[in-house]
Amino acid sequence: MILPMYCDLHTHSTASDGADPPEVLPRLAKEAGLSALALTDHDTTEGLQGCAKACGKHGIAFVPGIEVSADTHAVLPKRDPSLPQLGTLHILGLFVRHDDPKLADIHGRMKHARDTRNPAIVEKLRELGLRIEYREVQALAKEQGTHIIGRPHIATVLIEKGYVKSVQDAFRKYIGQGAPAYVRRDRLDPVEAIDAIHHAGGLAILAHAVQARCVDDDELEHFIASLKRMGLDGIETRHSDHPPEVVTKLTALAERLNLLTSGGSDYHGSRKAVALGSQRVPMSVYERLRERTG
């Protein structure tokens, strides 16, 4: 009997906002029965070398990756402004070179955007009369062992201080879009994101398409087709946020638009209730992508 073989092509480590170090993920992948693993940390390739080495030790095929955040609205600039706002646009780069200068440049720019945005949010909160200091947010992130400070950390400090009851409450009252302490983040143009991934020798794959929050199927198709014109190579069909009917829909869309497909859990360790390898992505998906990179 031949055992089915699976891969997970979307995971995070402590190099961004995951809970497991990049050197530990391959052992967990082995325990989850995976044959191939991609590490796709947000805007950084920092963990790739350590993860590659550990994958070698455990006999797991490694896919060096990255997940780049880009400006969703730049995909559909002529969209009716009265429609509900689009969500997030994340583009996975699979099979990228870890030391590509264009990816390093993106890392620097995104880090700068974050480094200036979070203190600006805290400053606005202080102007609103809340007693919060940026070093408290930094201390919390450090305690959680992540390299990236984000709004959830600010929200947690607000909960600890009794200003809000939950993270959602913090976003709604203070730090979410449209709230009084909201600060817009400098977003990367999707064309730049795709070009940088290609420059690094990788394939550009649209992650979790549902998170873009297109209003209907027509808009979703238009959204993906526009990204394809910008150079997109494929879409993630299987993802923890995609129910079976969405997987079916995206698979059909990929076929119609002549795009590759990928899949992964978006594992973040104990930080999210998603198990490594849970999407049961067949190894044939990995093989097809690898063939395409030459």
Report the residue number, 192 or 266, with the smaller CB distance to Zn ion. Answer: 266
Comparing CB distances to Zn ion, the nearer of 88 and 144 is 88
Site for Zn ion in 136-195 (CB under 5 A): none
DSSP 222: H
How many amino acids of this chain bind Zn ion (CB under 5 A)? Answer: 4
Q: What is the token pair recorded at 197? A: 């991934």
CB 294 within 8 A of CB 269: no
CA atoms of 40 and 206, how far apart (whole Å): 13
Contact 262, 205 (CB under 8 A): yes
**CB 132 within 8 Å of CB 122:** yes
Instruction: Give the range of 90-98, 117-125, 191-199, 243-251 binding Zn ion by CB under 5 A.
Output: 90-98
* Shortest spacing between CB 268 and Zn ion, in angstroms: 7
Tell which one of 106, 266, 279, 281 touches Zn ion (CB under 5 A).
Answer: 266
We find the least distance from the C-beta atom of residue 10 to Zn ion, in angstroms, to be: 6
> Which amino acid appears at position 198 of this protein?
H
Least Å distance, CB 82 to Zn ion, is 27
Query: Taken in order 48, 65, 266, 87, is the CA torsion positive or negative?
Result: positive
- Of 43 and 67, which CB lies nearer to Zn ion in the complex structure? 67
94 pairs with which residues across the strands? Answer: 65, 203
Using rule CB under 5 A, residue 238 touches Zn ion: no
Q: Is 90 in the site for Zn ion (CB under 5 A)?
A: yes
Q: Which is nearer to Zn ion, 67 or 71 (CB)?
A: 67
Q: How far is the CB of 6 from Zn ion (least distance, A)?
A: 18
The residue type of 98 is H
Window 59 to 88, contacts with Zn ion (CB under 5 A): 67
Comparison of 90 and 147: residue with beta carbon closer to Zn ion:
90
Closest separation between CB of residue 65 and Zn ion, Å? 10
Compute φ and ψ for 225, nearest 5 degrees. -65, -40
Q: Position 263: which residue type?
A: G
Q: Which of residues 195-224 bind Zn ion (CB under 5 A)?
A: 207
* Residue 92: CB minimum distance to Zn ion, A: 8
CB of 81 to Zn ion, least distance (A): 25
**Kind and range of the H or E run holding 57:** helix 48-58
CB-based closest residue to Zn ion: 90
Nearer to Zn ion, 68 or 164 (CB): 68
The residues, any chain, with a CB within 8 Å of residue 101's CB and separated by 6 or more, are none
Closer CB to Zn ion, 228 or 239, in the complex: 239
CA distances to 45, 69, 104, 116, 200 from 112, in Å: 16, 14, 12, 6, 21
Report the DSSP beta bridge partners of residue 90: 69
In the complex, the residues that contact Zn ion under the rule CB under 5 A are 67, 90, 207, 266
